[in-house]
Amino acid sequence: MTDASKHFYLRDHNSLAASSKLTAKAKQSILLSKAENTIDAYESDWNDFVDWCNFHHVTAFPAIPETIVNYINDLADYAKANTISRRISAISENFNASGIAENPCASILVKQALRGIRRLKGTYQQGKTPILLEDLEDIFEEMPKLGLSEIQLLRDKAILLIGFMGAFRRSELSKITVETLHFSPQGVEIFVKASKADQEGQGAVVAIPYVENSEFCAVRALKAWLRYSGIKEGPIFRGFTKTMTLRKTAISDKSIAEIVKKYVAAIGLNPDMYGAHSLRHGFATTAAAFGVEERNIMRQTRHHSVAMVRRYINEANKFVDNPISSIFNKR
Same domain, 229 and 80: no
Contact (CB, 8 A) for 263 and 160: yes
Domain membership flag for residue 215: yes
E strands in the chain = 181-184, 187-192, 204-209, 238-240, 246-250
Last residue of a domain, one of 81, 98, 121: 121
CATH classification of the domain holding 284: 1.10.443.10
Domain membership flag for residue 153: yes
- How far, in Å, are 43, 180, 314 from residue 27 at the CA level? 17, 35, 26
Full domain range(s) for residue 228: 133-316
Same domain, 66 and 178: no
- pLDDT(125) > 80: no
Tell me the C-alpha distance between 203 and 3, whole Å: 50
Tell me the C-alpha distance between 242 and 172, whole Å: 26
Same domain, 208 and 146: yes
Active site residue 304: no
Same domain, 254 and 293: yes
Q: What is the pLDDT of residue 158?
A: 98
What SS3 class is residue 75?
A: helix
Same domain, 81 and 151: no
Contact (CB, 8 A) for 58 and 66: no
Which percentage of the chain shows pLDDT scores above 70? 78
Active site residue 238: no
Domain membership flag for residue 329: no
Same domain, 140 and 117: no
Domain membership flag for residue 68: yes
Q: What is the pLDDT of residue 149?
A: 94
Active site residue 13: no
Among residues 86, 155, 277, 281, the one annotated as catalytic is 277
Same domain, 169 and 304: yes
Domain membership flag for residue 328: no
- Which amino acid, residue 225? W
What SS3 class is residue 46?
A: helix
Active site residue 303: yes
Q: What is the pLDDT of residue 260?
A: 95
Last residue of a domain, one of 65, 92, 121: 121
Instruction: Evaluate the CA torsion angle 189, 191, 195, 200 in order and state its sign.
Output: positive
Same domain, 30 and 74: yes
Tell me the C-alpha distance between 82 and 94, whole Å: 18
Domain membership flag for residue 142: yes
Contact (CB, 8 A) for 218 and 207: no
Among residues 303, 310, 311, 318, the one annotated as catalytic is 303
Among residues 196, 227, 254, 304, the one annotated as catalytic is 196
Domain membership flag for residue 267: yes
Among residues 9, 263, 274, 312, the one annotated as catalytic is 312
Tell me the C-alpha distance between 250 and 248, whole Å: 7
CATH classification of the domain holding 53: 1.10.150.130
Same domain, 262 and 167: yes
Q: Please, what is the end-to-end C-alpha distance for the chain in angstroms? A: 14
Is the model's pTM score more than 0.85? no
Same domain, 163 and 79: no
Length of the chain: 331
Same domain, 153 and 293: yes
Domain membership flag for residue 205: yes
State how many domains the chain has: 2
Active site residue 56: no
pLDDT in tens, 174-228: 999 999 999 999 999 999 875 544 444 577 899 999 998 889 999 999 999 999 9
Same domain, 210 and 107: no
Active site residue 277: yes
Among residues 86, 169, 170, 281, the one annotated as catalytic is 169
- pLDDT(118) > 80: no
Last residue of a domain, one of 98, 121, 144: 121
Instruction: For the chain, give the mean pLDDT.
Output: 83
Instruction: Evaluate the CA torsion angle 252, 257, 262, 264 in order and state its sign.
Output: positive
Q: What is the CA radius of gyration of the chain?
A: 21
pLDDT in tens, 59-82: 999 899 999 999 988 887 767 777
pLDDT in tens, 12-28: 656 556 666 667 666 66
CB atoms within 10 A of CB 183: 12
Among residues 6, 157, 220, 280, the one annotated as catalytic is 280
